[in-house]
Amino acid sequence: MRRRRVSVGNAVLNGRPGMELGELLALAFLVLSLCAAYALSFDRFLGRWGR
């Protein structure tokens, strides 16, 4: 039981959280960049239609 817990704990600490955090950070960065680009394009679109 202890060996399994340690092995699972090491696998979780070494593998999944890091990859999940990295993926979440990458996805968050992509989403923020897409939102910023969409907001800029939407503002330009509204500006063109408004003017």
Provide the residue range defining the domain that includes 29. 2-50
DSSP string across 1-51: -HHHHHHHHHHHHHTHHHHHHHHHHHHHHHHHHHHHHHHHHHHHHHHHHH-
What interhelical angle do 16-50 and 2-14 show, nearest 10? 30
What was the pLDDT predicted at 7? 63
Give the count of domains, the chain: 1
What was the pLDDT predicted at 8? 60
pLDDT tens digit sequence for 1-51? 555 555 666 665 665 555 677 788 888 999 999 989 988 888 887 777 665
HEC readout, 14-27: HCHHHHHHHHHHHH
- Say what the pTM is: 0.46
